[in-house]
Amino acid sequence: MHNLQHIFETHNFTLTNETTKGLEYQHQETEDIVYLLPTKEINLTVSPLSFDIDLSQSDGKIHSTALKRFPKRLNGGKQPISFGYSFNFQTEKELSEFLHTLNK
């Protein structure tokens, strides 16, 4: 996942937290947060409360304790869990193009 860091830096994101479950990046201007999660594909998760993007284009909601700075909701358990919207990319170019749209 660290091999993608240069792409985030190019699009004004700074690594702000790292766990085994994911990397947290914060946009330098808007201070919005995204998470890069370890999967076979490039998985970027955004908050439903940030960025002006069409969340219906996402690959769906994802719930994870790794999304510490995202809102929480119940998802079948007794306690609320953080959630966001997942976007999967096959290539670094696709990720870069998506991050570019977040800068607008």
Where exactly are the structural domains of the chain?
A: 2-102
pLDDT digits (tens, 9 = 90+) for 58-95: 999 999 999 999 999 999 889 999 999 999 999 999 99
pLDDT digits (tens, 9 = 90+) for 84-93: 999 999 999 9
Identify which of 77, 9, 1 has the alpha carbon closest to the alpha carbon of residue 45: 1
Mean pLDDT of 18-22: 92
Position 1 scores a pLDDT of: 60
Query: What is d(CA 83, CA 85) in angstroms, rounded to the nearest whole number?
Result: 7
Q: Is 33 exposed, middle or buried (0-12, 13-18, 19+ CB in 10 A)?
A: buried
pTM of the model as a whole: 0.91
Say whether domain 2-102 belongs to CATH 3.90.1150.40. Answer: yes
In single-letter form, the type of residue at position 54 comes to D
Please list the residues that pair with 61 across neighbouring strands. Answer: 85
